[in-house]
């Protein structure tokens, strides 16, 4: 259910400062324009729609070069812009630049965790594997995403290992009592990943044991350290690496950031998860995504879609 009072915002720099809403004849004088911007922060605001969710496209009153030359002014204008947006119902933002703030931002790991079963099913079908026979290893970072992934896949698989230094005994016991799946745990990743058909990597540490991966394995990189993906692509052509995806949503194709902006506005369950890490929302979010026919359009790695030639190179490299 869409909350009409909640909005998202996409924030970028202005390209042409002549488009800023300064309605004075003196606006063409640079000194006056700079004073006016500093005093009144006249950013550009336009309404946009993603899926069925309404948000705002924001152009700050500075160019990219001006941000670099005067970071103090930039931070001041940016903070004032956010305060205005909050008062207008904006709760989640993306920006084309790194900055400090206290607004919610999209986290692709969350959406990929909730969609982990279709991700596995789709990737396996592309490389000709049989789902029930695969061995999956999750390399845990101690976050809530490990729990989400396990809860969303354990009814569909026969073999699951967890590499972790955290206590997941209650979840492991729950899974075993529910369907008899025995999740084996390890503290060292190289001892198990050599036999895993799929490795789901959540840690932000650089993934070092690239040569321990099984030939023909699928490596789903949910970390924020893309150096791991880059290293794997260089050294292991026989490992299919996935670190991002595009989704089909209400007939349009969205990257994960845009999709999460739209879904945050639309879903009370997802907002509760985002704000409070409520695992109780897991099944409701999963069902909601299914009901809204959210489907994987294409897999990515290092910001490029995986093409037919990528899959052929992978298959031909398997030893």
- CATH code assigned at 227: 3.40.50.720
Q: How confident is the model at residue 18 (pLDDT cuts 50, 70, 90)?
A: confident
pLDDT bin (cut points 50, 70, 90) of residue 26 is: low
16 lies in the same domain as 134: no
pLDDT over threshold 60, residue 251: yes
Tokens at residue 98, please? Answer: 């790194």
**Are residues 151 and 16 part of one domain?**
no
Tell me the Ramachandran region of residue 253: left when phi exceeds 0, alpha when psi lies from -120 to 50, beta otherwise.
beta
pLDDT, greater one: 146 or 15: 146
Distance CA 305, CA 92 (A): 26
* Residue 111 to residue 269: CA distance in whole angstroms: 13
Mean pLDDT check: name the lowest of 188-197, 223-232, 305-314: 188-197
Distance CA 230, CA 235 (A): 9
Beta bridge partners of 8: 55, 92
Within a domain: residue 252?
no
Indicate whether 263 belongs to any domain: no
Distance CA(269)–CA(266), nearest Å, equals 9
Residue 275 included in any domain: no
Q: Would 213 be classed as within a structural domain?
A: yes
Other CB atoms within a 10 A radius of the CB of residue 66 amount to: 19
User: What's the token pair of residue 285?
Assistant: 């979010």
Same domain, 56 and 96: yes
Into how many domains does the chain fold?
Answer: 2
Mean pLDDT (the chain, rounded): 90
Q: Does the pLDDT value for residue 190 go beyond 80?
A: no
88 and 122 fall within a common domain? no
- Identify whether residues 306 and 161 lie together within a single domain: yes
| Shared domain check, 200 and 115 | yes
Residue-wise pLDDT tens digits, 46-59: 999 999 999 999 99
Q: Which of 65, 82, 104 is the last residue of a domain?
A: 104
Give the pLDDT band (50/70/90) at residue 24: low
Residue 309 pLDDT: 92
Host domain of residue 157: 109-246+294-317
Helices then strands (H, E): number in the chain?
Answer: 13, 14
């Amino acid at each position: 259910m869409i909350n009409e009072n909640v909005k998202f915002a996409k924030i970028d720099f202005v390209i042409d400062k002549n488009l800023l809403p300064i309605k004075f004849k003196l606006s063409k004088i640079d000194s006056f324009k700079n004073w006016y911007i500093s005093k009144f922060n006249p950013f550009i605001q336009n309404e946009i729609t993603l899926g069925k969710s309404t948000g705002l496209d924001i152009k700050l009153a500075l160019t990219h070069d001006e941000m670099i030359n005067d970071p103090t002014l930039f931070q001041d204008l940016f903070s004032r812009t956010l305060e205005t947006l909050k008062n207008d119902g904006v709760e989640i933002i993306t920006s084309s630049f790194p900055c400090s703030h206290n607004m919610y931002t999209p986290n692709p790991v969350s959406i990929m965790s909730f969609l982990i079963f279709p991700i596995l099913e789709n990737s396996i079908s592309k490389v000709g594997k049989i789902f029930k026979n695969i061995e999956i290893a999750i390399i845990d970072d101690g976050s809530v995403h490990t729990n989400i992934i396990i809860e969303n896949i354990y009814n569909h698989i026969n073999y699951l290992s967890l590499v972790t230094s955290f206590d997941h005994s209650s979840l492991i016991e729950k899974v075993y009592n529910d369907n008899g799946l025995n999740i084996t745990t390890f503290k060292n990743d190289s001892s198990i990943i050599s036999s895993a058909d799929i490795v789901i990597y959540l840690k932000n540490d650089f993934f070092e044991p690239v040569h321990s991966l099984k030939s023909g394995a699928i490596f789903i990189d949910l970390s924020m350290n893309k150096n791991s993906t880059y290293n794997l692509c260089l050294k292991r052509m026989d490992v299919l690496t996935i670190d991002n995806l595009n989704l089909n949503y209400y007939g349009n194709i969205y990257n994960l950031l845009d999709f999460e902006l739209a879904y945050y506005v639309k879903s009370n369950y997802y907002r509760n998860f985002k704000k409070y890490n409520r695992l109780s929302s897991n099944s409701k979010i999963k069902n909601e995504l299914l009901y809204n026919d959210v489907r994987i359009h294409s897999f990515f790695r290092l910001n490029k879609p995986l093409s037919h030639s990528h899959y052929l190179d992978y298959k031909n490299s398997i030893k």
